[in-house]
């Protein structure tokens, strides 16, 4: 399971020209689910995301978590994170989970976030989405579990 995490000042998802969800200060997570992923991967990744200290403290050090800053979280499924671009010029998605499994683990990841005391906003699984964000920093991390 892969998560591209971006610290944002704000982010939103628009589908078919209509605002679907939005957050203020917090984290935008693009989530990729791979063939061999299981619930334990989602649990570990959710814990890592909400506890990752990527927000600045009073001394301008990355020392605060999403919980510390009372930030929001937006989770968007993105199977292209599972793409392999090592050979040729066309990505291979052989390692991406099939849609049914990916949906189950995407929803389980969101459940883990919510059970930790957050109210995750989301994109729509398998939809074409327009994502707008203001990256704070920029600060971006790729986390794998």
Q: Tell me, what DSSP letter sits at residue 49?
A: H
Give the residue extent of every domain in the chain: 2-144
Q: What are phi and psi of 95, to 5 degrees?
A: -90, -5
> DSSP letters of 95-107?
TBPPHHHHHHHHH
Q: Distance between CA atoms of 45 and 50, rounded to whole angstroms?
A: 9
For position 9, what pLDDT does the model report? 98
Per-residue pLDDT of the chain (145 residues; tens, 9 = 90+): 999 999 999 999 999 999 999 999 999 999 999 999 999 999 999 999 999 999 999 999 999 999 999 999 999 999 999 999 999 999 999 999 999 999 999 999 999 999 999 999 999 999 999 999 999 999 999 999 8
| 2-144 has CATH 3.50.80.10 classification | yes
The residues that are catalytic are: 80
Q: Distance between CA atoms of 131 and 143, rounded to whole angstroms?
A: 20
Q: Distance between CA atoms of 117 and 139, rounded to whole angstroms?
A: 24
């Amino acid at each position: 399971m892969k998560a591209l995490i971006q610290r944002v000042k704000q982010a939103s998802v628009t589908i078919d020209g209509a605002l679907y969800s939005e957050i203020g200060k917090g984290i935008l997570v693009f989530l990729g689910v791979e063939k061999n992923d299981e619930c334990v991967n989602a649990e570990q990744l959710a814990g890592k995301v909400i506890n990752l200290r990527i927000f600045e403290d009073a001394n301008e050090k990355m020392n605060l978590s999403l919980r510390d800053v009372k930030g929001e979280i937006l989770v968007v499924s993105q199977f292209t994170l599972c793409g392999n671009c090592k050979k040729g010029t066309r990505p291979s998605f052989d390692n991406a989970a099939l849609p049914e499994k990916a949906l189950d683990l995407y929803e389980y990841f969101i459940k883990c976030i919510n059970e930790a005391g957050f109210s995750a906003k989301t994109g729509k699984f398998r939809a074409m989405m327009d994502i707008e964000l203001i990256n704070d920093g920029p600060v971006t991390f790729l986390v794998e579990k």
